[in-house]
Amino acid sequence: MGKETLSKICADLREEFQALSDYIYDHPELGLEEYQSSQAHADLLEKHGFQVEKPYLGFETAFRATYDSGKLGPTVAYLSEYDALPEIGHGCGHNMLGTVDTGAGIVLSKVLDETGGRVVVLGTPAEETDGVKVDMAAADTFDDIDVALCTHPSDANTKSGPSLAMQALEFEFFGKNAHAAAAPWQGINALDAVINLFNLVNAQRQQILPTARVHGVIKDGGEVANVIPDYTRAHFYVRARDKAYVQVLREMMIRMAESAAQAAGCTMKYRNYEKTYDDMVTNRPLDDAYNANAEALGVEMLDPDPNEVVGSLDMGNVSHVVPATNPYYGITNGQKISGHTPEFRDCTKTAAGYEAMMTTIEILARTGYDVLSDPELLKAIQADFEAE
Question: Is residue 56 classed exposed, middle or buried when 0-12, 13-18 and 19+ CB atoms within 10 A define those classes?
Answer: buried
**How would you list the strands of the sheet with 267-272, edge to edge?**
213-220, 231-240, 165-174, 267-272
CATH code assigned to 4-163+277-387:
3.40.630.10
Q: What is the 3-state secondary structure (H, E, C) of 179-195?
A: ECCCCHHHCECHHHHHH
What are the per-10-residue average pLDDT scores of the chain (388 residues)?
A: 90 99 98 99 99 99 99 98 97 98 99 97 96 97 99 97 96 98 98 99 96 96 97 98 97 99 99 96 98 98 83 95 98 95 98 98 99 98 96
Domain boundaries, the chain: 4-163+277-387, 165-272
Look at residue 2 in the predicted model and tell me its pLDDT.
77
Contact 367, 293 (CB under 8 A): yes
Pairing of strands 324-325, 147-149: parallel
Angle between helices 94-109 and 4-26 (to 10 degrees): 150
Contact 85, 98 (CB under 8 A): no
Give, as one character, the DSSP assignment of residue 106. H
Look at residue 20 in the predicted model and tell me its pLDDT.
99
Q: Can you tell me whether residue 375 is helix, strand or coil?
A: helix
Look at residue 200 in the predicted model and tell me its pLDDT.
99
User: Does 165-272 carry CATH code 3.90.1150.10?
Assistant: no
Q: How many other C-beta atoms can be found within 10 angstroms of the C-beta atom of residue 105?
A: 30
CA angle 283, 285, 288 (to 5 degrees): 105
User: What torsion, rounded to 10 degrees, do the Cα atoms 228, 229, 230, 235 define?
Assistant: -150
